[in-house]
Structure 1
């Protein structure tokens, strides 16, 4: 009948209005945590009880690898057992060099996470933590250190013989270095197991050529004054 048809139309209008009035469902997608940015610190110091040899200066030699393993482990222990351990990532030896005739200078890169909830780590914090955990920069495990040799991103403290507090000085030496990971693919160099072996003659030859070409790129650019060197880490 006409009344039933009218009632049906009203019901349909009510349904449509009710449907339209409902709030849309909003789906919020969480952005994956990309990880806190890394904070690298250049850490340099002198080991007085490790006589430097040409083999220690060669990153491919067994003696270098042995010393690097020990030094990395000792540095990791310092920061893993400190109050800044939640922000610590790792330390990696970058080079060993001769200093003061026959002593060994250590250059390592220690990386921390910029974690806002814990507080940012700076060069002074890293310096003081290293100093505290090495008995005022005197012992790193079994190694004896030059107590006046520690630099962290150019930050250095000199302790005078008087009872006054330490004198803080900031020096440009050693220079602050910022490391960049550069990766690319060479399409016309067939890969072989010998290329992957960092101790092989082929690897060393290819690494030397590639490092030289990379050095040429940056030495002949407008950022050459800031450039230091490139080194092949792996193939």
Structure 2
């Protein structure tokens, strides 16, 4: 039989292609695997370990290495004592100009090592801090709203998180607009609500345009 790649004759009982093409394909596959492994190693090296992880690379995390805590503050006395979320000043400063201003100047946050975050749940704060370290976040509709507010408040220009949050919000606008949290957002940050609606309308226009351009069957 003839090889489909180079038209050379080959023994069909040995392989599906000639020896030269088979070996070349194997070499190419090995090169790709090596490049992928190299990229994975680089990503793992660049990824910050999060102090919220129990372990990192198989080793227990030592909380004592953190030098600042974030606290989800609330005016509700029934909420109970706030649980601090540990972090590193250097990481926060590199991620947000707002955190940079807090921690590089003689502000209360810099002196006490405690940053109080108002109008946010403890769970949302944990997810937000973890995202600052790892660029990974599991979102539902409510968490998307909370993270979008935090990203806006602390000028954390993480396009992937913003796009993911906006996409999830605009996909569930009918459910979200009936929630009390959304009503509060309209009052507290109308500019962000405008941004959400712009993304929502843009998605609807693009969807309509895609349907109009699709060929009829």
Under TM normalisation by the shorter chain, which class is it? Answer: under 0.3
Return the structure number with greater helix share: 2
